[in-house]
Structure 1
Amino acid sequence: MKKIIQSAVHFLCFFAFWTAQSQSCPNSDNVPELDGSVCITTKAPLNYQEGDENTINLFVRKFPAKKDRKGSIWLIPGGPGESGASLYPLINQFSNLFPNLDIFVPDHRGTGYSSKICPKEEIVDSPDGMALANDEWGPCFNYMYSNLEYVKAFTITNAARDLSFLINEFSGTEERYIYGVSYGTQLVLRLLQLGTVDLDAVILDSLVPLQDDDEFDLSHRSLVTDDVGKSFLEQVDHRAPNDITLEEQLNSIIERTKTDTEFAANLPKQDLAILFGMMLDIPYVRNSIPEIIKGLNSNDYEPLQKAITQITAFYNDYGAAYQSSTNSIPLTQVITASENNLRPEMTKTEVIDESKDLLFKSPLPSLIAENSMPTYSRDEHFGKTPQHIPPTLIINGTLDSKTHIKGAVRHYKRLAQNSSSISFIRVKNAPHFIALFAPSAFEKVVSRFMNTKAIGNQTVSDDSLEIN
């Protein structure tokens, strides 16, 4: 009976694929990189349980192969609240790298044009688009707590089952590949745990820590950020033997904000350590940190203001052309609180106390503390690794302030226990998201991997990430 139900669902979704190809594709007429893309909206089970007939919509954008087709590759975005739009700015890059592959970019359940946790408040036609406007939070919360079983279906495992279903239905014949970045690496590995998809190779960009790694989980993000920030300062600290270090200078500046009201009044209201933490994510902003420290020491605020302007412009511009680029906060909170926060009991006060002496911070630990959204129970896949792993490339930055390189290595070693076909590549000085911030190194490494499926463990450089 289970096979009959699955076959019926597969048939319906296969038919939906062919009828969906003629549908209007959002933004394809006014955004050059989306021109020629094909949009697919299909039904999928809410829970993948026998007898449960509830369904959700899943949205996928397909970019046909530029040359003779030899297969397909699925690009899995991060998040968990990010939609496929977070990868659209890189489509031309991926198309050039994989010219013979159809490229599929799905919206995770709960993101983009796929079904949302709050169906009325998180859609493109709501007052603030897919973002939640101030007066939409109340109705959104009310809907979530009035539909707990629906919300609890937005799990990592169900999202992995979505991927399995989509890949098996729409990939077509010949070779199959998958790329995941950040949370997308966690989702891809959950997919491999299911063992329901045949893949020729896997590419994992900025591998997240193991779920049971209590040193590098999300509640410890500020500690990770601080360690990476201090490592960067050590690399760029070209001082005379008796001079005060950059770390000591930054510590003095942050302490001064607590006692010098005139100095503090000239600074942004945002926690200075959080601002410095944000600088680490964007290499050209990160490289200005020594100048910013020097400026603040002499009451020159212009380098800091310039950095803030650059950060703001980056996040405002990246993905701004796409209606579906807004992250889903409800989905992020539900998954994070359920599976990726190993210290859910921490209060915001305790988070502040733990990070009070840090020079570089992340806002994330405070945001995820005292979660007020529904959670679901962890299943048998939590903290586990796949038993069978196809040829896999893992590529991580040595200055990744989101996934500490030590956490990525620890995860790689656990995966390698079940496979001898995993290559681990360090990109010197790279932050999170190698495809975006180290495109030259990414292209070279991935091209070699795709040709050989095994390139060994090594450290590579990207000219754009050189530190003086």
Structure 2
Amino acid sequence: MTFKGNVFLSLILVALMSLSSTSFASTHFNKKISEYNQYQEFNWGQCPAQFNTTDKQNKCSFAEVPLDWADPTGKKIEVLVAKYPARGGVSKGQLWMISGGPGASASIAFPHVIEYDMADIVEDHDVYIIEHRGIGWSTELQCDWRDYFNPQACFDAQHEIWGDGLFEFNTTNAARDLEYVISKSRALNWLPSYIYGVSYGTMLVQRFTQIAPNGAQGIILDSVLPTTNFGADMYEENADKVFTQLADYCDLDEYCRSKFVSPVNQTIRDTLSKHFAGQHCSDVSIDREKLQLWSMEQISRNDKRALLPFYSRLARCNTDDIVALKKAVTFYKLGGSTFILRQENNVPDEFKATFSGPLYDLISMNEINFVKRSVDQRRLFCANAVVCFTLADHALSAKYQSTWSERYTGEYIYKRMSHYMPLIAFNGTLDHATPIFHAKTIESSFTNINQRFIEVPYAPHGVVFNTGVKTAGEGICGVDIMESFMENPWTKPNTDCLNDLTDHTFKLAIEHSQEVYGEDDAFGSFK
């Protein structure tokens, strides 16, 4: 899950959106509409360029669906559906891919992973992507990027277009879209269906299981977003706890442990307290908010190795460390302004923005913020945290919350649920966005022995495609487990590959260490 109401993460999203404003050739495609009728097959045609796989084997259609599923004869919108047919020519099932966010386009990663990371699955399964209502090539919610700091202007612009129909761009209606397109895809040929959801996509898929408890044959959840007792406002607290987990892993690693006085977590926090009180390593000038924001950036990455060398050197602070730290402060821009918000406004016809800010605001503020934090509470937390956003971020986040929250509710929002379909849920122990200590609560919703939670040590957010193995020639572990589950969802999937995962390391490449610190070993050494 991404959290847009913070300056740093907004820049990530702007970067994603800038993909759509790069100078691609503006070529029109033959858009195929599929009328609202679940008993008729899709009208398949060409895909928009950003949904194309490089082998051009996929095809797309735009399904008409009700804006409000409670009023199926009312206003219609469109959702894009892409299909990658089984390479072997005969399909024995379907796999549906549901992206996260909320607000992130499925085009960011799914076409690539389908083509390159799922060879065995796509050999004999049709793989489908549905683009969430409100995003990109589906009927889109999009504000002028210049209104990023003016959430009321963005809300007013969208409400002027949609009226209260704006609030129908919610998770329950998106789950009904999914139920409908799965049914439509099987109009002429019934095939077993499996659904993969990642991050916010796991909440959408869980909502699907409530409105369509027999709508699929199996569910795969990757980085589980809890449906209760969770909130976007907890992002900093969760990320800071994951930093503690990373430090605890350092204590267990001989190389990393040798670079600190253990326990690592307490050493780092004590060091920061003394440094910013002017009692330690005063020769190195660091802006605290920028350091916390940089730490948030690093803890949010799949590869978090750049974090600990900086804190090791700051804790030790010998003569060599001071030289190296000053170089790193310049490299990471921890002493001055580093961020520039910009976005080109003209997007070629063939490309759409890959993130919807209004959709994020709408869903996160009404469905993913059960636990709220005030600006004062966040400020107090950040006073002693390693990982945090800035005071300005907190104020802006509060503006988003006051503008977009309490706009709608629903029978499933913030409610406990029970799962009855076969299910596997993956979560990594270094997941900052949907941390494992929250994700594991899904186990209380399990009702059967064919529902399993799989904990993956050291894995980041988005586990399935970040599980490389040591044995040459073998596939991606998470994908192999998915395939085993889809082969027979009523038996325990083969998880042997978890014993062959690539070893986690704290060592940085020599080239990167030289670039940042001017030495071969980013940590340096005790003398």
- TM-score w.r.t. length of structure 2: 0.71
Distance 2:191 2:136 in 1: 29
Q: Provide Cα deviations, 1:33-82, integer angstroms capped at 9, x if missing partner.
A: 46222121121100012365111111122211111211211000011111
When structure 1 is superposed on structure 2, of 80-89 and 37-46 the one drifting more is 80-89
Structural mapping, 1:194-273, within 5 Å: 194-195=211-212, 198-209=215-226, 211-213=227-229, 216-237=230-251, 238-239=256-257, 243=261, 245-255=263-273, 258-259=276-277, 267=286, 271-273=290-292
* Counterpart in the other structure of 2:501: 463
SS of alignment partner, residue 276 of structure 1: helix
State the AA in 2 paired with 1:87: A
Distance 2:64 2:419 in 1: 29
Distance 1:356 1:135 in 2: 25
Gaps of 5+ in 2: 1-33, 340-349, 469-475, 507-527
State how many pairs are aligned. 430
* Counterpart in the other structure of 2:308: 290
Quickly say closer, same or farther: Cα 1:145–1:349, change in 2 above 3 A.
farther
Does 2:407 correspond to 1:376?
Answer: yes
Shift, 1:331, TM fit: 0.9
* Counterpart in the other structure of 1:173: 190
* Counterpart in the other structure of 1:405: 436
* Counterpart in the other structure of 1:447: 483
Structural mapping, 1:65-464, within 5 Å: 65-67=86-88, 68-88=90-110, 89-99=112-122, 100-118=124-142, 121=143, 140-146=154-160, 147-171=162-186, 172-195=189-212, 198-209=215-226, 211-213=227-229, 216-237=230-251, 238-239=256-257, 243=261, 245-255=263-273, 258-259=276-277, 267=286, 271-284=290-303, 286-296=304-314, 297=317, 298-299=321-322, 300-302=325-327, 323-324=351-352, 326-344=354-372, 346-361=373-388, 368-370=397-399, 371=401, 372-373=403-404, 375-387=406-418, 389-412=420-443, 414-416=444-446, 418-439=447-468, 440-453=476-489, 454-455=491-492, 460-461=498-499, 463-464=501-502
Distance 1:352 1:34 in 2: 50
Distance 1:200 1:429 in 2: 30
Sequence identity percentage: 22
When structure 1 is superposed on structure 2, of 262-271 and 347-356 the one drifting more is 262-271
Does 2:49 correspond to 1:26?
Answer: yes
Does the 8 A contact of 2:47 with 2:82 survive in 1? no
Distance 1:367 1:257 in 2: 28
Structural mapping, 1:31-50, within 5 Å: 33=54, 35-50=56-71
Structure whose alpha-carbon radius of gyration is higher: 2
Shift, 1:338, TM fit: 0.7
SS of alignment partner, residue 104 of structure 1: strand
Shift, 1:387, TM fit: 4.6
Quickly say closer, same or farther: Cα 1:325–1:84, change in 2 above 3 A.
farther
Gaps of 5+ in 1: 1-7, 123-130, 313-321
* Counterpart in the other structure of 1:3: none
Greater length-normalized contact order (CA 8 Å, ≥ 6 residues apart):
2
Distance 2:394 2:40 in 1: 42
Does the 8 A contact of 1:179 with 1:205 survive in 2? yes
Shift, 1:265, TM fit: 8.5
State the AA in 2 paired with 1:289: L
Quickly say closer, same or farther: Cα 1:265–1:144, change in 2 above 3 A.
farther
Distance 2:206 2:487 in 1: 22
- TM-score w.r.t. length of structure 1: 0.80
Does the 8 A contact of 1:397 with 1:428 survive in 2? yes
Quickly say closer, same or farther: Cα 1:263–1:181, change in 2 above 3 A.
farther
* Counterpart in the other structure of 2:37: 11
Does the 8 A contact of 1:258 with 1:264 survive in 2? no
Shift, 1:114, TM fit: 1.0
Does the 8 A contact of 1:27 with 1:34 survive in 2? no
